C-alpha cells in the first residue's frame, strides 16, 4: 500500500510556490486536496456568504491545481468553498472554475456538494433531540435557528460517492478539513489510523513544516504508518514539528473527532526518515458509535459604524475613567431627544474600546493599572440598521471630540481623529449561534450533490 | 529566575473553533520540558486563577512527543461576539509569559 496525497497549501487562495506544486506532480500523487474555508476569521463569512479571500487569489490557485490534476488525471477536491462552505460559496467557486475552463480549454466533470441546512430540517432534528450540544455550546431556540445561516460539516462519504461517480473535481461546501485528504486513502482501503492522522497533519499545508509556510506537503500512506515531507526542498519536517502540529487549533491533541470516528494520536510515535521527512506510526482511528455532523451557524445581530481616535493629553487620559461613562450617559439622553423616543435605548449600543488600557486582555491583563502616555479609542456603534448606526455615530463622534474636561477653562478638542469623516460604516455584524452536532440517519441526508460537465 | 517565556521556543493562544480557546507552550529543549514536567509551573488551578474560569472547564496536558504543555478552556466571550476583542484568540497567551519555570 502506498497512497500519495498532495496538499498544495493551507487554504485555497493563500498561494503556494509553483515550483513546489511542480515537484508534487512529479511525485505522482493519487489525489490533490485543498481546504478553502475556516471559521477562524470569525462569523462574518458564514453570516454574509462573502468569502474572506479574493476571487483573483482563488482563481490563481485553482487554475494551477486544475492543470496539475489534468496532467495526472487524478481527482482534485476543494472543501469549504468560499470560506464558509455555504451554497453560495460553492457556486462562487464553480463560477471561477467555469471561467478557467473556458479560458484554458479544459473539460472536467465536476461534483458540487452543497451543505446548507434548512431551518425546517434543523428544527425537526432539534425537536427530536438529535441536535446535541458540544462543550461549551450556546443555548438555542427555534427563533435562533430560524435567524441563522447553518451549514453541516460533511465527512468523507458524500465526497467518496462523487468520486465513484467519476468526478474529476469535487467542489464541496462545508467539510471536515481532514475528510478532504482522507477520502481517497479510505476508498483505496488504506489503514484508517494512518490515513486520518496523515490527513490531519497535511490539512494546513506546510504549516507543520520548519519554517511554517503557505505551501505544499505530500503524505505517503503505507501499511500501518504514514510519512510526510514538504514540497519545497528548502523546508523540512521534524518529528517535533509533526507531533506539535496535533496541538494546532485543536482543543485536545490526542483525540480528534470526525463525523465517522475519532483520530487517536495517543500512541503515535514520530521518527525522522531523513532530515526533511517524518514517519508516524501507531495512530488509530476509532469508528463512532453514532455518526455525527458538526453544525455551524451565524446570525446577523445588527449593523456597525465605527470611528478611531487618539488621546495624548495626560490630564484627559487620567480622567478617562470618569469622562467616558459621563459621555455615555449623555448620549442616551441625546439619542432619546434626537429620535423623539422612536429609538429604544436597548436597541443600540455605544462602546468605547480603549487601547492602552486593557483593551486586548481585559480583566485578565497582568499590567492593569499601568498608564500609557497615548491612548487609542475605538468607538463602535451597533444598531438595527446601518442608517441608524451612522446617525448615532456622527453624534457620538462629534461629542467625543468635545468632552468638557473639568479644570479646563474653555472648549478644546479631546480626541484626535485621523480621518475625515471619522465614521466608517462596517456593514452587518454577525455572531456564531451553534456549537452542536446533528445525528442524521445516514452520512448523506444533509448534503446534496450535483454532477456537471464543464467545458464540453 | 527563569520564566516560561524564556524557555519556550513558542507560546501561543488560538481558537479551537469559535467557542474554545487553546494555549500551546512549546519548549525549546527536552531538559527544560522535563524540568517543567517535574515542577508543574502550569496547573489547572493556576490557569483558572489567571483566566477567571472554573477549574472544571479547563483541560491541561503535558505532551511528551511535542515537548509541550497544552491547555484549553471555553472562550470567555464567543469569537466575533460584540464584546470580543481578539477574533483569533491570538494574544491571550501573554499572561503566561512571566510565569516562573520552577
- Give the per-residue pLDDT at A338: 85
Report residue A48 as a C-alpha cell: 454574509
Q: What is the mean predicted confidence (pLDDT) over B49-77?
A: 96
Cβ count near A385 (within 10 Å)? 12
Residue pair A301/A382 in contact (Cβ under 8 Å)? The answer is yes
- The H-or-E segment that residue A321 falls in is helix A314-338
Helix ranges (DSSP H) in A128-176: 142-147, 156-164
- Give the per-residue pLDDT at A344: 87
* φ/ψ of residue A203, rounded to 5: -60, -30
Short-list A177, A93, A431, CA closest to B18: A431
Q: What is the mean predicted confidence (pLDDT) over A19-24?
A: 98
DSSP A190-249: --HHHHHHHHHHHTTGGGGSBS--SS-EEEEEETTEEEEEESSTT-B--HHHHHHHTTTT
Report residue A258 as a C-alpha cell: 470526525
User: What is the distance in angstroms between the Cα of A308 and the nearest Cα belonging to chain B?
Assistant: 15
Report the distance separating Cα A158 and Cα A191, nearest Å: 20
Indicate yes or no: CB of B68 within 8 angstroms of CB of A359: no
Report the distance separating Cα B37 and Cα B32, nearest Å: 9
Q: What is the mean predicted confidence (pLDDT) over A401-407?
A: 85
Short-list B58, B73, B18, CA closest to A153: B18
Strand ranges inside A225-348, DSSP E? 225-230, 255-258, 261-264, 269-272, 278-281, 284-287, 293-311
Instruction: State yes or no: pLDDT of A456 exceeds 80.
Output: no
pLDDT one-digit tens code per residue, B66-86: 999 999 999 999 999 999 999
Range name among A105-109, A210-214, A256-260 with the lowest pLDDT average: A210-214
Q: What is the mean predicted confidence (pLDDT) over A78-103?
A: 98
Strand order in the sheet with B59-63: B8-15, B20-27, B68-74, B59-63
Indicate yes or no: CB of A246 within 8 angstroms of CB of B66: yes
Short-list A417, A407, A202, CA closest to A310: A417
Report residue A198 as a C-alpha cell: 496523515
Instruction: State yes or no: pLDDT of A450 exceeds 80.
Output: yes
CB nearest to A40's CB, from B20, B57, B88: B88
Q: What is the mean predicted confidence (pLDDT) over A88-94?
A: 98
Residue pair A209/A247 in contact (Cβ under 8 Å)? The answer is no
**Average pLDDT score over chain A:** 96
Indicate yes or no: CB of A435 within 8 angstroms of CB of B19: yes
Interface of B with A in 8-27 (CB under 8 A): 14-20, 22, 24, 26
The number of C-beta contacts closer than 8 angstroms across A and B is: 114
Q: What is the mean predicted confidence (pLDDT) over B26-34?
A: 97
Residue pair A412/A126 in contact (Cβ under 8 Å)? The answer is no
Cβ count near A13 (within 10 Å)? 25
- Give the per-residue pLDDT at A286: 97
Cβ count near B30 (within 10 Å)? 11
Model ipTM value? 0.95
CB nearest to A136's CB, from B14, B26, B74: B74
CB nearest to B85's CB, from A44, A246, A362: A362
Query: Structure pTM?
Result: 0.96
Report the distance separating Cα A296 and Cα A236, nearest Å: 35
Cβ count near A367 (within 10 Å)? 11
**Percent of chain A with pLDDT strictly greater than 90:** 88
pLDDT one-digit tens code per residue, A266-279: 999 999 999 999 99
Q: What does the DSSP 8-state code read for residue A406?
A: T
SS3 call for A436: strand
pLDDT one-digit tens code per residue, A186-238: 999 999 999 999 999 999 999 999 989 999 999 999 999 999 999 999 999 99
Cβ neighbours of B66 in A, within 8 Å: 240, 243-244, 246-247, 253
B66 touches chain A (CB under 8 A): yes
Helix ranges (DSSP H) in A7-83: 18-26, 44-48, 55-72
Model confidence at A258, in pLDDT bands (50, 70, 90)? very high
Amino acid at each position: 500500500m502506498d497512497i500519495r496525497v498532495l496538499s498544495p497549501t493551507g487554504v485555497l487562495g493563500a498561494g503556494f510556490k509553483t515550483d513546489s506544486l511542480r515537484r508534487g506532480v512529479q511525485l505522482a500523487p493519487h489525489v490533490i486536496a485543498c481546504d478553502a474555508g475556516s471559521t477562524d476569521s470569525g462569523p462574518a463569512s458564514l453570516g454574509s456568504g462573502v468569502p474572506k479571500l479574493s476571487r483573483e487569489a482563488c482563481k490563481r490557485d485553482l487554475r494551477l491545481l486544475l492543470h496539475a490534476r489534468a496532467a495526472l488525471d487524478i481527482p482534485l477536491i476543494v472543501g469549504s468553498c468560499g470560506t464558509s462552505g455555504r451554497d453560495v460559496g460553492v457556486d462562487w467557486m464553480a463560477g471561477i472554475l467555469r471561467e478557467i475552463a473556458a479560458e484554458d480549454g479544459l473539460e472536467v466533470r465536476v461534483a458540487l456538494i452543497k451543505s446548507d441546512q434548512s431551518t425546517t430540517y434543523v428544527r425537526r432534528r432539534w425537536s427530536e433531540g438529535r441536535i446535541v450540544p458540544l462543550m461549551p455550546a450556546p443555548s438555542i431556540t427555534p427563533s435562533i435557528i430560524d435567524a441563522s445561516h447553518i451549514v453541516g460539516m460533511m465527512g468523507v462519504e458524500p465526497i467518496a460517492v462523487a468520486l465513484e461517480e467519476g468526478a474529476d473535481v469535487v467542489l464541496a461546501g462545508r467539510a471536515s478539513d481532514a475528510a478532504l485528504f482522507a477520502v481517497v486513502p479510505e476508498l483505496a482501503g488504506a489503514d484508517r489510523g494512518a490515513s486520518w492522522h496523515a490527513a490531519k497533519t497535511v490539512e494546513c499545508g506546510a504549516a507543520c513544516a520548519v519554517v511554517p509556510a503557505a505551501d505544499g506537503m505530500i503524505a505517503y500512506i503505507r501499511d500501518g504508518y504514514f510519512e510526510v515531507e514538504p514540497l519545497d526542498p528548502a523546508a523540512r519536517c521534524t518529528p517535533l514539528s509533526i507531533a506539535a502540529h496535533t496541538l494546532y487549533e485543536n482543543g485536545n491533541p490526542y483525540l480528534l473527532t470526525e463525523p465517522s470516528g475519532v483520530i487517536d494520536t495517543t500512541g503515535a510515535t514520530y521518527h525522522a526518515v531523513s532530515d526533511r521527512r517524518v514517519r508516524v506510526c501507531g495512530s488509530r482511528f476509532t469508528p463512532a458509535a453514532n455518526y455525527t455532523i458538526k453544525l455551524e451557524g451565524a446570525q446577523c445581530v445588527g449593523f456597525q459604524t465605527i470611528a478611531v481616535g487618539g488621546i495624548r493629553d495626560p490630564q484627559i487620559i487620567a480622567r478617562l475613567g470618569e469622562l467616558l461613562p459621563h459621555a455615555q450617559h449623555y448620549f442616551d439622553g441625546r439619542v432619546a431627544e434626537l429620535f423623539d423616543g422612536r429609538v429604544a435605548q436597548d436597541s443600540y449600543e455605544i462602546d468605547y474600546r480603549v487601547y492602552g488600557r486593557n483593551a486586548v486582555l481585559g480583566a485578565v491583563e497582568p499590567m492593569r493599572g499601568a498608564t500609557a502616555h497615548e491612548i487609542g479609542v475605538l468607538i463602535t456603534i451597533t444598531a438595527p440598521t446601518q442608517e441608524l448606526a451612522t446617525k448615532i455615530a456622527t453624534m457620538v463622534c462629534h461629542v467625543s471630540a468635545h468632552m468638557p474636561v473639568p479644570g479646563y477653562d474653555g472648549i478644546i478638542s479631546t480626541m484626535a481623529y485621523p480621518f475625515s469623516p471619522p465614521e466608517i460604516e462596517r456593514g452587518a455584524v454577525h455572531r456564531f449561534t451553534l456549537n452542536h452536532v446533528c445525528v442524521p440517519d445516514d452520512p448523506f441526508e444533509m448534503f446534496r450533490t450535483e454532477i456537471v460537465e464543464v467545458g464540453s | 529566575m527563569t520564566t516560561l517565556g524564556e524557555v519556550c521556543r513558542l507560546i501561543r493562544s488560538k481558537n479551537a473553533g469559535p467557542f474554545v480557546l487553546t494555549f500551546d507552550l512549546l519548549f525549546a529543549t527536552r531538559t527544560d520540558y522535563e524540568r517543567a514536567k517535574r515542577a508543574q509551573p502550569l496547573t489547572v488551578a493556576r490557569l483558572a486563577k489567571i483566566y477567571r474560569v472554573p477549574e472544571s472547564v479547563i483541560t491541561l496536558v503535558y505532551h511528551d512527543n511535542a515537548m509541550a504543555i497544552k491547555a484549553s478552556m471555553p472562550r470567555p466571550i464567543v469569537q466575533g461576539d460584540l464584546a470580543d476583542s481578539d477574533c483569533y484568540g491570538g494574544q491571550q497567551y501573554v499572561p503566561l509569559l512571566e510565569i516562573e519555570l520552577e
